[in-house]
Amino acid sequence: MSHDVLLVAETRDGQLKKGAFEGATAARRVADALGGKVTAVVVGHGVTGADALGRCGVDRVLVVDGPAFARYAGDALAAAVLAAAAKVSPRLVLFSATVAGKETGPAVAARLSAACVADATGLAVEGGELVATKPRLGGKAFAKVAVKAPVAVVSLRQNVVTPADAPRTAAVERLDVAAPASRVRLQQVVAPTAKEIELTEADVIVSGGRGLQAPENWKVVLDLADALGAAHGASRAVVDAGWRPHKEQVGQTGKTVSPKLYVAAGISGAIQHLAGMSGSKVIVAVNKDPDAPIFQVADYGIVGDAMVVLPLLATEARSYLKR
């Protein structure tokens, strides 16, 4: 049985994404426990700086580069990963639990007759077996899933691993892959504006809910996010009401986030919202109802009017960060 790990390192505009380094650290730890090597497949167009993965313990990098790989397309990414897997014969194929990873991982697993664990929050080797941690019941419980199959495909949530130095010189090779004709046509890419931080990659998120009362009050959420250098999110209630775009929705039918700090303002804490954010390391809730369910998952709770509390937090944050 192989002991090697194949990491799927995502790119944006030819540059490695932050999650690629988190994945490299997770892959290195698994490979060390198994006694294997880490190969990363880097897929994109105009890829540069792929050797930087060596910093976090990647031994070898296979670069699949071409116009067909410029934007994410599931069938093209699957073809690239399968071509890399054919070279490496890995025990583990590790994706980030992004839209791309959660969509392409199962397709790759099917083609490799591998076990598939999606959206894991932890990955370890116990008694020689790969064991993934998976949130259940919207994050209220965690299951440990031991992989019995010889090959596993796992997608690991972002922000659950901190990139760590394990420096080596990664050998970079080009891997030529013919992208299949895509069955999906990309119509439009809505890029975040310069000031926007992608929710799933953010270390700090300030989210608002229906307790903000009206869309014009959203400025207190945006201002606190600005003071903290944070991304801003929303509950489904305000997205459904048209106050905020769907790309900001956190939860079961929105994005899954695991920042270091999550501020939930005027959000009741419905289980569908918790499903998307209960993996956050520190949760601060601001709600005027002391019995709101959000306080059951919060590390710090402030009972009060979000319209009063958020500006105070923003002022404090600005003066603290200036020191």
Q: Which residues sit at the interface with ligand FAD, rule CB under 6 A?
A: 209-211, 235-238, 249-254, 266-268, 270, 272-273, 276, 286-289, 292, 305-307
Strand locations in the chain (E):
5-9, 11-12, 15-16, 38-44, 60-65, 92-96, 115-120, 122-126, 129-136, 141-146, 152-156, 171-174, 204-208, 231-234, 261-265, 282-287, 300-303
Query: Which residue, 37 or 236, has its beta carbon nearer to ligand FAD?
Result: 236
CA 199 – CA 21 distance, rounded (Å): 18
Q: Characterise 115 by phi-psi region: left (phi > 0), alpha (psi -120 to 50), beta (else).
A: beta
CB 246, min distance to ligand FAD, A: 10
Shortest Cβ 271–ligand FAD spacing (Å): 7
Which residue number, 71 or 210, has a Cβ lying nearer to ligand FAD?
A: 210
Q: CB-wise, 229 or 245, nearer to ligand FAD?
A: 245
Closest CB to ligand FAD among residues 18, 157: 157
Q: Do residues 53 and 20 lie in contact, with contact meaning Cβ atoms separated by under 8 Å?
A: yes
In this structure, the strands spanning 5-9 and 92-96 are parallel
Residue with smaller CB distance to ligand FAD, 58 or 286: 286
Nearest approach in angstroms of CB 106 to ligand FAD is 21
**Cβ-based neighbours of 44, under 8 Å, separated by 6 or more:** 11, 12, 13, 14, 64, 65, 69, 70
- What's the order of all strands across the beta sheet hosting 60-65? 115-120, 152-156, 92-96, 5-9, 38-44, 60-65, 171-174
**Cβ at position 286, least distance to ligand FAD in Å:** 6
Measure the CA–CA gap between 229 and 222, rounded to whole angstroms: 10
Q: Which amino acid is at 66?
A: G
Rounded to a whole number of angstroms, the minimum distance from the CB of residue 11 to ligand FAD is: 28
Can you tell me the distance from the alpha carbon of 295 to that of 316, in angstroms, rounded to the nearest whole number? Answer: 22
Give residue 141's Cα distance to chain centre. Answer: 19
Return the number of other C-beta atoms located less than 10 Å from residue 251's C-beta: 24
Pairing state of beta strands 15-16 and 11-12? Answer: antiparallel
Nearest to ligand FAD of 202, 267 (CB atom): 267
From the CB of 244, what's the least distance to ligand FAD, in Å?
A: 10
The distance of closest approach from Cβ of residue 136 to ligand FAD in the complex, given in angstroms and rounded to an integer, is 17
CB of 298 to ligand FAD, least distance (A): 12
- Please report where in the chains the tokens 């910093």 appear, as a residue: 55
